[in-house]
């Protein structure tokens, strides 16, 4: 798992644990695009992992 993926997972974990009150605040704290975070929260797995055979 790459550094970016680790950061995304940590962001989602903190967001789900109510460390942050919004996706925007969480994305900003971890320096992740809000659109990326929103997509991952709503869809789950990243595209490359979801389409592995």
Q: What's the pLDDT tens digit per position in 17-49?
A: 999 999 999 999 999 999 999 999 988 766 556
Residue 48 is predicted with a pLDDT of 59
Number of domains present in the structure of the chain: 1
Q: What is the pTM of this model?
A: 0.76
Q: What local confidence, expressed as pLDDT, does residue 52 receive?
A: 59
Query: Does residue 51 register a pLDDT over 60?
Result: no
Q: Do 49 and 34 meet the contact criterion of CB atoms below 8 Å apart?
A: no
Residue 52 domain flag = no
- pLDDT category at 11 given cuts 50, 70, 90 is very high
Is position 53 within any domain? no
Task: List the domain range (segments joined by +) for residue 40.
Answer: 3-47
The CA distances from residue 36 to 27, 30, 41, 53, in Å, are 9, 12, 9, 23
**Structural domain includes residue 38:** yes
């Amino acid at each position: 798992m790459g550094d970016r993926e680790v950061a995304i997972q940590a962001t989602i974990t903190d967001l789900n644990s109510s460390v942050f009150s919004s996706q925007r605040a969480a994305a900003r704290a971890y320096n992740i695009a809000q659109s990326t975070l929103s997509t991952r929260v709503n869809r789950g797995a990243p595209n490359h992992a979801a389409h592995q055979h």
